[in-house]
Structure 1
Amino acid sequence: MALSREEIAARYGTALFGFAEDNKVLDDVYEEVGELKKAVEANPAIIGVMSDPVLNGEEKKKTLEAIEKDFSQEVQGFLNLLLEYNRFEYLIDIIDYFNNLYDEKKSIASGTVTTAVKLDDDQLKRLGDSYANKYNLKAVRLENKVDPSILGGVILQVKDRVIDGSVKTQLKKIRTQLIDEN
């Protein structure tokens, strides 16, 4: 029975996490796979080349050596493992799974804050710090999405929790109350 994309990501992501944790290089591996993910997302052809069944193993190995030269032995070993077992096409999914395990271990959450106008970095940081304090997290990484239709205020979504403080929602609530009273 073939494994699903999610199962492969979970297996390899968990294995990388456990290996990095056992070798006491978890933070270093986290930083390196973050950089690797950025590089692969900027150059998606890397995945195509490393997953191409037409290319022989030696060509892929040479390409991988050029990619991995600046990474630690742990990340190099991991990339070679993916190449050996033909799992390179799942690299981004595996890194995402690893990152989720890392965030869970370190009490870090990620989310989005939707506003009518773009927030600066300081505003995002203060909002994230406030949320982290309220929910006993060490940190919250927020991405800002701009949606002028909310008129003002913020909609904060972290994991499955949504805090909607938008003007649009407040106006809808007032409208509903006025209609219910009549």
Structure 2
Amino acid sequence: MFKIIQRACFRYSAANFKAEAEIKSVPGHKPPSFEDTVQGKYAGVLFATASQKEALHFVLQDMKYFKELADKSPVFAGFLVNSAYKRNQQRNVIQALTKEGFHEVTQNLLNTMIDNQRISYLTKTADKFIEYYRIFNKEENITIISAENLSEEQRSQVIQALKESSPNMQFSVQYKVDPSILGGLQMYSGNKFLDCSLQSRVNKLRSELQKLSI
């Protein structure tokens, strides 16, 4: 997988690229792995139940909503971890958010987490569910860091390189700007890191010069 990123490393990119297939159910209705944590157990049950209901994609959208809401709203993030709220207060807040049409599988999860005093694990459960879904969807998360915002042409070049290298793979690409890398790109994929930045080359040159110094 990382060879794809290596190939794209010198074909600059930016902006979000996301091609996501809609998966309703999977054979056997089991998540791709099991994690013996609170969020892992909840996400596993959620995945299995959603698959049985042919609702994986619908629940995925719900989980993304809560993850984004917690990321962007300190008030909601604080609400989730505040143990001072009583169950009926938590339920009222969640019901106000979900009355717009969240799937029944999602609503059942939320009620169960509130009853078990585990609503603070909602965002971690959402992260784990999204991870499970992406494994079945053959979707790769990539983070690209550049020294400045990249042009539409540069974006298209990397996207095209990714698609040509792996036509059956879906990509979820996040782009960040870090002027300190001076130029080039840095790329992350899972636990792998590829540094094609100008700063890394400067550091390497400096190191080689130091070896030559007397």
Q: The TM-score by the shorter chain falls in which range? A: 0.7 to 0.9
State the 1:38 CA deviation.
1.8
CA RMSD in angstroms comes to 2.8
Report how far residue 122 of structure 1 moved.
Answer: 6.7
Q: Residues 130 and 21 of structure 1: is their aligned pair in 2 closer, same or farther, counting only changes over 3 Å?
A: farther
Q: Could you tell me which residue of structure 2 aligns to residue 103 of structure 1?
A: 134
- Change in Cα spacing, 1:171 to 1:59, as seen in structure 2 (3 Å) is closer
Which residue of structure 2 aligns with residue 151 of structure 1? 182
- 1:113–1:155 CA contact under 8 A, matched in 2: yes
1:165 aligns to 2:196 (yes or no)? yes
- Residue 88 of structure 2 corresponds to 58
Aligned 8 A contact 1:107 1:138 in 2: yes
Q: Which residue of 2 aligns with 1:30?
A: 60
Compute the displacement of 1:181 (Å): 7.3
How far has the Cα of 1:53 moved from its partner?
Answer: 4.5
In structure 2, the partner of 1:43 is 73
Q: Specify the code of the residue in structure 2 equivalent to 1:42.
A: K
The one-character-per-residue Cα deviations of 1:50-81 (angstroms, maximum 9, x if unpaired) are 55554443333333221221211111111111
Give the conservation status (yes or no) of the 8 Å contact 2:186–2:196: yes
Aligned amino acid, residue 199 of structure 2: K
In structure 1, the residue matched to 2:40 is 10
For 2:144, the aligned partner's letter is: V
Measure the CA separation in 1 of the matches of 2:43 and 2:156.
28
Structure 1 unaligned blocks of 5 or more: 1-5
Q: Assess if the C-alpha contact under 8 Å between 1:51 and 1:86 holds in 2.
A: no
1:45 and 1:133, CA in 2 relative to 1: closer, same or farther beyond 3 A? same
SS at match of 2:186: strand
Counterparts of 1:179 and 1:47, CA distance in 2? 49
Match of 2:37, SS state, is helix
- Deviation, structure 1 residue 180: 6.0
Map 1:67-106; keep pairs closer than 5 Å.
67-70=97-100, 71-106=102-137
Aligned length: 177
d(CA) in 2 for partners of 1:106, 1:160: 19
Contact 2:184 2:196 in 1 (8 A): yes
Pick which of 87-96 and 29-38 moved more. 29-38
8 Å CA contact retained: 2:142, 2:188: yes
Picking from 173, 176, 187, the partner of 1:142 is 173
- Opposite residue 147 of structure 1, the aligned amino acid is D
| Residue type at the aligned position of 2:137 | K
Deviations 1:56-114 (A, max 9, x none): 43333333221221211111111111111111011111101111111111111212111
Instruction: Give the 3 Å change call, closer, same or farther, for CA 141–128 of structure 1 in structure 2.
Output: farther
Percent pairwise identity: 22
Query: Do 1:47 and 1:88's aligned partners in 2 also have CA atoms closer than 8 Å?
Result: no
Query: What runs of 5+ residues in structure 2 fail to find an aligned partner?
Result: 1-35
Q: Is the 8 A contact 1:129 1:140 kept in 2?
A: no
* Higher percent of residues as helix: 1
* Larger RCO (CA under 8 A, 6+ residues apart): 2
Q: Which moved more, 1:170-179 or 1:60-69?
A: 170-179
